[in-house]
Chains A and B, each alone.
Chain A
Amino acid sequence: MTTALFLLFSILALTFLLALPLGLYAARVFAGERVWTSPLLAPLERAVYRLAGVDPANEMDWKKYATSLLLFNFAGFLFLYLILRLQPLLPLDPLHLGAVPPGSAFNTAVSFVTNTNWQDYAGETTLGPLAQMLGLTVQNFLSAAVGVTLLLPLVRGFVRHETDRLGNYWVDLTRTVLYILLPLSLVFALVLVAQGVPDTLTALVRAHLVFPFHEGAHLVRHQAIALGPVASQEAIKILGNNGGGFFNVNSAHPFENPTALTNALETVAMLLLPATLLVAFARLARAPGTAVALVIATLLFFIPLALLSAHEELSPNPRIAVLSVAQHPSPRLAGGGNLVGVDDRIGAVGCALFATAATATSTGAANCAYDSMMPLAGGVNLFLMQLGEVVFGGIGTGLASLLAFAVFAVFLGGLMVGRTPEFLGKKIETFEMKMVSLSILVMPLVVLVGTAVAVLSPAGRASVGNPGPHGFSEILYALTSPGNNNGSAFGGLDAATRFYNILTGVAMLLGRYWVYLPLLAMAGSLARKRTVPVGAGTLPTHTLTFVVLLAGSILLIGALNFLPALVLGPGADQALLMTRAAHAALVRRAAP
């Protein structure tokens, strides 16, 4: 556990160390100011506007902003869907992998456009380099930027007053991609290559085995090694909180995550942009105190849950304990603990912390088999997503949802100090409550109803990969992750069926746009209001008391809905593990 503590705190320290300057830089970018990268990027930016016919000075109201977003995402969806379906007709498919089937193509296109990156396919056997680059990498950039285009109008809604202008969607999008995502990804990709992540246009290398072996009656002499433009995609996959792996096993693959160092850096990179946006928010909303309170509330969830996950992963599996197997934590044992589905260079702690970061943000990447995690560690993944992706959360979307929860908290807290509630100088009234309720409370409905549909239908149950309550966890995960645009999975569930393609596709769409549109509408309403001056009677949002209130609201209003499902999934799974173990221990003691 000391290792876990050291690793966790150095990851967090590095994250915020990088996020501080980056956040200030990002705030200037979002405000449209000149930054030190401008000499290089401003001409490119201007060229893009000119060629696309965008007038950057033309600001939009929330409806126009939302329409632009929907149109843009629809264009992205069509483009990606066509690339997947038409793969055989396009160049750069050296292995002739063929067209992606319609159900899978629909699911994947929705998944990457919504920043979910839920994958029902195995990357190396489905997509060639062109589809990976022009199909997926493009969406990795654009869908990550879409999150920012939720946060920015929302912040403007708080800051501006008596206006209906929330900014220019095209400008917000373009500047995010050009000034933030591209430079960061370029640097990170090269760091990854330096550690061993390949980047080629070759799709496959055949290795001649020095040690051929028999598989059944067949002598295996070769190893086919899948390659491709991995580093460029890996960088934005992690930084952009996308999480869709180049390879089937995602960041567990040695080519995606070759060393302990890349593992730590990827964990940092997942948290980096959400943390950066918190800093940028502090600057843009002129609310550093509130931003600090949000960070503390976030860490209040993140740190204990990460440590719980690490603790569970380091705990010996009681069922294996009865065998003659060494699994107690020790550096000589690759860290020990639960190594089922974990590569040795990563270890149980690396797996737990990466998983926590991947589900706390909307990344959904995986450096180990989440399905094989200990019940409560898998439960931590589920819980973090079910919080509504607000603990760090997705790029932009996470902070926006956290602000939505803050609106809730302020509503209760405001009443408790005897004023009709206000947040960041704006009165929270009926319309805001409606929109916030819609955006926060629809996710539980999607996840719970989806899970109920899946467990009751034979098609839903047929995909389950593990028996007992864990099977339920798999289904719950398969709705929770798309419903929150996370994209990670309990891999034992066979999601490549028509049933799950449709169900998760719908969950992803609702999870994305049903959160996005109400919050944008709220931003529109907030911007029209007068700014209320802050006084001694105003509920302060920069105190520890507010942190407690916010954390309590997230737990009581956000997470309590999932308690029954969590009890029947990971809870029952854990109970099963413990009781059977007690039984087995009894058996062992009885027999000398």
Chain B
Amino acid sequence: MFRSLSTTVRLFLLLAVVSGLVYPLAVLGLAHLLFPAKSQGSLLVRRGRVVGSALIGQEIIRPRYFWSRPSATTPVPYDADASNASNTAPTNPRLVADIRRRLARLEHADPGAHGPVPIDLVTTSGSGLDPDISLAAAAYQIPRVARAGGLPVRTLERLVSAHTERPPLPFLGPPVVAVLPLDLALHRLYEKEQKGRR
């Protein structure tokens, strides 16, 4: 009995060291060596400061920019230290109420918009940190952004297309538009324009 107890403890500690220290540290080292940027979280740096991650969405609800999807994280939307989903069931009346509220907000920002609203623009994502919107959601916002930002629709379409990510095989997943990189590019465009106007 004592022998098997001692074997148990010794083997457990050995395997714990192998799988809990040696293995993760090996992955860590190799990851840093091979993929220095990606292993650190694909951070976006602007003027020497981290402004976000290319993989993590941010709450953006300015009319001049493309909006992200609604987020269910608390206390603030897109809290990347507290990922969460709304967990609202399809039959939950709150779902319809939430969507109505978001529809109203969209309409408020862009009274002229017509046509049905793409579903991802009025529903929260699984992570609460969805970095992307659908092509339709981007297209839906182009008229508003063009009007509010004073940019030609053609320019915005090109910009959206440049930030569209398509999976290597079409059936793996849908094409999406990365919002934060898109808006940062847009931001640069506005800044350039401002500088030019000055």
Contact surface of A with B, Cβ cutoff 8 Å: 2-3, 6-7, 10, 44, 48, 51-54, 67-68, 71-72, 75-76, 79, 122, 124-125, 133-135, 137-138, 140-142, 170, 173-174, 177-178, 181-182, 185-186, 189-190, 193-202, 204-211, 213, 215, 218, 220, 223-227, 229, 231-233, 235-236, 247-249, 252-255, 258-261, 263-264, 317, 319-320, 323-327, 330-336, 338-347, 350-351, 366-369, 371-375, 465-470, 490-492, 573, 576-577, 580
Contact = CB atoms under 8 A, between A and B. Distances in A.
Question: Which among A122, A133, A253, A345 has the greatest number of chain B C-beta atoms within 10 A?
Answer: A345
Contacts of B4: 67-68, 71
A325 B99 contact: yes
A310 to B, nearest CB: 12
Contacts of A467: 91-93
B141 interface: no
Nearest to B55: A254
B103 A325 contact: yes
A207 B53 contact: yes
A553 to B, nearest CB: 33
B126 A232 contact: no
A53 B91 CA distance: 58
B39 A231 contact: yes
A319 B75 CA distance: 28
Given A225-B80, A323-B100, A343-B125, A200 B117 contact: no
A138 B14 CA distance: 11
Contact of B135 (A231, A332, A492): A332
B28 A52 contact: no
A129 B114 CA distance: 49
A290 to B, nearest CB: 33
A2 B118 CA distance: 21
Nearest to B172: A260
A230 to B, nearest CB: 9
A206 B41 CA distance: 12
A68 B8 contact: yes
B171 A577 contact: no
B87 A71 contact: no
Given A332-B135, A375-B91, A198 B59 contact: no
Given A213-B60, A344-B176, A369 B5 contact: no
A253 B131 CA distance: 10
B7 A54 contact: yes
Contact of B42 (A44, A196, A366): A196
Interface in B1-54: 3-12, 14-16, 18-21, 23-24, 26-28, 30-32, 34-35, 38-44, 46, 49-54
Contact of B61 (A7, A213, A227, A325): A213
A71 B8 contact: yes
Contacts of B8: 68, 71-72, 75
Question: Which among A215, A324, A373 has the greatest number of chain B C-beta atoms within 10 A?
Answer: A324
Given A124-B81, A372-B85, A137 B91 contact: no
A76 B9 CA distance: 9
Nearest to B44: A207
16 contacts: A10-B169, A44-B18, A71-B4, A125-B82, A190-B31, A200-B41, A207-B53, A211-B58, A215-B77, A223-B78, A223-B80, A252-B127, A323-B99, A342-B126, A345-B130, A369-B86
B12 A76 contact: yes
A101 B58 CA distance: 32
Nearest to A572: B91
Given A141-B15, A340-B123, A465-B87, A213 B59 contact: yes
B127 A345 contact: no
B51 A252 contact: no
Given A264-B172, A577-B90, A232 B23 contact: yes
Interface in B54-108: 54-62, 65, 69, 75-93, 95-96, 99-100, 103
B83 A211 contact: no
Given A125-B82, A335-B174, 20 more contacts: A134-B20, A142-B15, A186-B27, A190-B31, A198-B38, A198-B42, A207-B51, A224-B81, A225-B56, A232-B24, A259-B167, A320-B95, A343-B127, A343-B130, A344-B176, A372-B89, A373-B90, A466-B87, A467-B93, A468-B91
Contacts of B125: 252, 339, 341-344
B184 interface: yes
Question: Which among A135, A372, A577 has the greatest number of chain B C-beta atoms within 10 A?
Answer: A372
Contacts of B58: 209, 211, 223
Contact of A200 (B7, B26, B39, B127): B39
B168 interface: yes
A82 to B, nearest CB: 12
Interface in B166-194: 167-176, 183-184, 187
B168 to A, nearest CB: 6
Nearest to B24: A232
B55 A196 contact: yes
Contacts of A6: 171
A135 B4 CA distance: 23
B51 A138 contact: no
Contacts of B99: 320, 323, 325
Given A196-B42, A205-B43, A372 B55 contact: no
Nearest to A260: B173
Rank and list the top 4 A-B pairs by shortest CB-CB distance, nearest first.
Answer: A260-B173, A252-B126, A369-B85, A492-B87
Contact of B38 (A76, A178, A194, A247): A194
Contacts of A375: 89-91
B95 to A, nearest CB: 7
B148 to A, nearest CB: 14
